[in-house]
Chain A
Amino acid sequence: KAGVTQTPRYLIKTRGQQVTLSCSPISGHRSVSWYQQTPGQGLQFLFEYFSETQRNKGNFPGRFSGRQFSNSRSEMNVSTLELGDSALYLCASSSIQGRAGTVRFFGPGTRLTVL
């Protein structure tokens, strides 16, 4: 099976712009979650989607949003970019939602640089 794919892999934006990142989960996986990784804060949970519904949300401002499509692919959007949004954005997929024994598999990430 192909793993989790994320596009684009690298992105450079300027302050005030918006950006959309895409994640395709492993075939058959219906749960997608997003994480932000920065040197200062480490890996932090953004949100999780299952069956096109947001099931869980981390402590991030409303500029960070996401959605999931019927084919389980997910996008996250960051509006009005700030310098501090520069980070590695990671997507993880799992087969079902709501089970701690279900493994989440991560994609390679999208490296966003805000200038």
Chain B
Amino acid sequence: EVQLVESGGGLVQPGRSLKLSCAASGFTFSNYGMHWIRQAPTKGLEWVASISPSGGSTYYRDSVKGRFTISRDNAKSTLYLQMDSLRSEDTATYYCATDYYSGVFLFDYWGQGVMVTVSS
């Protein structure tokens, strides 16, 4: 059974950093592209970042470029999102998700999500 478990969320002040993790199991992690998608409270879904199976290619939405870094450790089957210079508008539930087809940005398995609150 595919499982994705996010962790590392919490309350953080504007301008500070936070690192999210997503522990994967039940599938061959190194074969799949992975993604972070977020959802602000009572709002819709917003793609944040993606990474290729090897980690060699990364993609970001414009509003997080230069502030967020997506990475992965295939030996540990874990996906990461390093979030620096956090802003109030980054407040959201962050989901990790798998790629249904490589490079298609089609999200089939999702984690339960982790809340990030950016506030002073």
Do A and B interact with each other, yes or no?
A: no
* Chain A residues in the interface with B (C-beta under 8 A): none
